[in-house]
Structure 1
Amino acid sequence: MAEIVLKNVNKRWGNFVGVKDFDLTIPDREFLVLLGPSGCGKTTTMRMIAGLEDPTEGEIWIGDRMVNNVDPKDRDISMVFQSYGLYPNMNVYENIRFPLKVRKVPEAEHKERVMRASAMVELDDFLHRKPAALSGGQRQRVALARAIVREPNVFLMDEPLSNLDAKLRVSTRAQIKNLSHELKVTTIYVTHDQIEAMTLADRVVVMEKGIVQQVGTPTDIYDNPANTFVASFIGNPAMNLMEGELKDGVFTGKNVTIPGLTGSNGPVTLGFRAEDASIATSTGQIDAPVYSMELLGDATMVTVKAGGALVAVKADKEYRSEIGAPVSIAVPAEICHLFDVATGQRLT
């Protein structure tokens, strides 16, 4: 049982607040992703769970014991870092085996456990090589195998894919997803990449400036962002956000008129996803000239400038237009989200 509980955890350095009032229960075997931009507190939170940083206030529980004063080596966790941290003088087999030697696991068990971990990440053909003879993706798999061989209660992964190229990130991401299914170990994964978060997580914690903005499944966060920060951070492209006025159920802004909305009269921020809107065949709700057009293969991304904001919409892959040509965009009321202009919070 490796349920992790953080109770009102804070981390400060002088007047600087790194993490504020972090309060969360991570159930046993959950794959939780801490997501946010650089400096938002996600790595600091992970380091406090690992014991590499001490919380200023609050409690951290792993299983049935509070670990605030427990050394990292006694917390039964394995970490995978952004830098692979491999020993250059050891071959792959010895790098994977090293945690077993340090923890004085009986030597009779070493080969079986190393080979099992190696097979999980498809390294059997590289066990004799040293790290210098491996690609970046292979080195990352060695780091994963070294964490797996420990058979810990908790995995902590700190941006493990950020040093890989785009193609390797996709394949290694799939490998991590499969490993989490096979190993069924509580995992906390730190990333600034929202695609990694959406594809890997059971739940996502979105953070900004040390504060949790929203916790939920990837679908919850994508479909119902709690505020404009989450709306603008999740999604590729991010949610379109436009400021305007809501009066008697009609949103108006420069080049924009969207009827059929529900809410109190006054200034609001309106949001909608690019894939939920479409190029209108007749009169739409947004009329503006084409600002840019990008061919994506499976679709064409059309961007216009309306009301001072860049607004993107996904059109059919065959759609073509010229920059500057007028276009009308259909934005049904049911796909729209409304946010408070002052606070950015979602309006229900």
Structure 2
Amino acid sequence: MAEIQLRNVGKRWGSFVGVQNFDLTIADREFLVLLGPSGCGKTTTMRMIAGLEDVTDGDILIDGQVVNDLEPKDRDVAMVFQSYALYPNMNVYENIRFPLKVRKVPEGEHDDRVRRASAMVELDDFLHRKPSELSGGQRQRVALARAIVREPNVFLMDEPLSNLDAKLRVSTRAQIKNLSHELAVTTIYVTHDQIEAMTLADRVVVMKHGVVQQVGSPTEIYDAPANTFVASFIGSPAMNLIDGKIENGTFAAQHTRIEGLALPDGPVTLGFRAEDASLSDSGQITAPIYTLELLGDATMISVRIGGALVSVKADKSFRAEIDDMVTISVPPEICHLFEAGSGERIGA
């Protein structure tokens, strides 16, 4: 059992605010992802939970106990770092075993626990090797095994895949997903990669400048982003966002007229997903092709509207040239609308 509560937690260094009013309960066995760009406060939040940073405001509770003043070693959390942080003079077996020695676990338990952890991340054939003899993916798996062997109440993972190449990231991500299911331990995972967040999380916390922008399941955040920042951060490609204005129920912008929007007149930002729109003989956007990208299963076509690039997915067999005119169908029911000034979502 490891429920974590953050009650209006904040972190400041002098006048600089790193995290502000972070208020959230993380359920026992939940896989929570903190997502946002560099400098948004996600790693600082994790380090406060771990005890590596002092809390300036608010309280952190683990299983109902305030842990603000507890040392990291007394919080029963295990952390996996981006840099692996392995001991180069020890082989894989000893690296995995090291937390058991530090915590004075009876030696009779060591071998069984080390081998159980190594089997979970498929390292049995590498236990005799030194870290320098391993690939980046294997080293990250050693770091995972070293966290697993502790059997902690909470796993904290700080961008563990960012040093891996694209193919290794996919396979290691699948391994972490499977491990989280198998271990059923409360996990907090920090990343700037929205694909990691969408594929791993039970819930995602999107952060910007130390402030939580939205908390929800990956589906909730994808389908109903709270503001234009979340809309532009989640999805590959990100949501198309077009600045324009409503005139008599019609959204108007360069190359664009979308009717049937029941909103008062005035400036708004309109958004839609590339996969929700389509090419058509008659549509709401008519513009020259800015670029084409063959994705294998589809062709991504982009047009420029004002200062924004707007993308739509077409069939993989679609053929055209840059500057050819295309017409894009954007039904009003697929559109998301945001306030022009604040960027906040309009309506449910």
Q: Give the TM bin, normalised by the shorter chain.
A: over 0.9
CA distance in 1, matches of 2:307, 2:186: 45
Residue 282 of structure 2: aligned partner: 283
CA distance in 2, matches of 1:308, 1:192: 25
Aligned pair 1:195/2:169, yes or no? no
CA distance in 1, matches of 2:235, 2:308: 17
Alpha-carbon deviation of 1:149? 0.2
Q: Deviations over 1:86-121 (max 9, x none)?
A: 111111000000000000000110011001000000
Residue 311 of structure 2: aligned partner: 312
Q: Secondary structure at the match of 2:142?
A: helix
Q: Is the 8 A contact 1:19 1:45 kept in 2?
A: yes
Residue 338 of structure 1: aligned partner: 337
Alpha-carbon deviation of 1:290? 0.3
Alpha-carbon deviation of 1:315? 0.4
CA distance in 1, matches of 2:160, 2:149: 17
Q: Secondary structure at the match of 1:160?
A: coil
Q: Is the 8 A contact 1:36 1:206 kept in 2?
A: yes
Aligned pair 1:98/2:122, yes or no? no
The amino acid of 2:269's aligned partner reads: T
Alpha-carbon deviation of 1:283? 1.5
The amino acid of 2:233's aligned partner reads: F
CA distance in 2, matches of 1:64, 1:252: 53
Residue 32 of structure 2: aligned partner: 32
The amino acid of 1:274's aligned partner reads: A
Residue 2 of structure 1: aligned partner: 2
Residue 59 of structure 2: aligned partner: 59
Alpha-carbon deviation of 1:249? 1.8
The amino acid of 1:165's aligned partner reads: D
The amino acid of 2:124's aligned partner reads: D
Q: Is the 8 A contact 1:256 1:307 kept in 2?
A: no
Greater shift, 263-272 or 204-213, is seen at 263-272
Residue 164 of structure 1: aligned partner: 164
Aligned pair 1:228/2:228, yes or no? yes
Residue 74 of structure 2: aligned partner: 74
Alpha-carbon deviation of 1:262? 2.3
What TM-score, normalized by structure 2, do the two folds share? 0.99
Q: Secondary structure at the match of 2:28?
A: coil
Say what the alpha-carbon RMSD is for the aligned residues. 0.6
What TM-score, normalized by structure 1, do the two folds share? 0.99
CA distance in 2, matches of 1:218, 1:322: 36
Q: Deviations over 1:33-81 (max 9, x none)?
A: 0000000000000000000001111000001210000000000000000
Structure 2 residues not aligned, in runs of 5+: none
Q: Is the 8 A contact 1:286 1:306 kept in 2?
A: no
Q: Which runs of 4+ in 1 moved over 6 A?
A: none
Identical counterparts, % of pairs? 76
The amino acid of 1:50's aligned partner reads: A
Number of aligned residues: 347
Alpha-carbon deviation of 1:264? 1.9
Q: Is the 8 A contact 1:78 1:152 kept in 2?
A: yes
CA distance in 2, matches of 1:96, 1:345: 47
Aligned pair 1:118/2:121, yes or no? no
Q: Secondary structure at the match of 1:176?
A: helix
Q: Is the 8 A contact 1:177 1:200 kept in 2?
A: yes
Alpha-carbon deviation of 1:265? 1.6
CA distance in 2, matches of 1:307, 1:208: 26
CA distance in 1, matches of 2:10, 2:203: 21
Q: Secondary structure at the match of 1:347?
A: coil
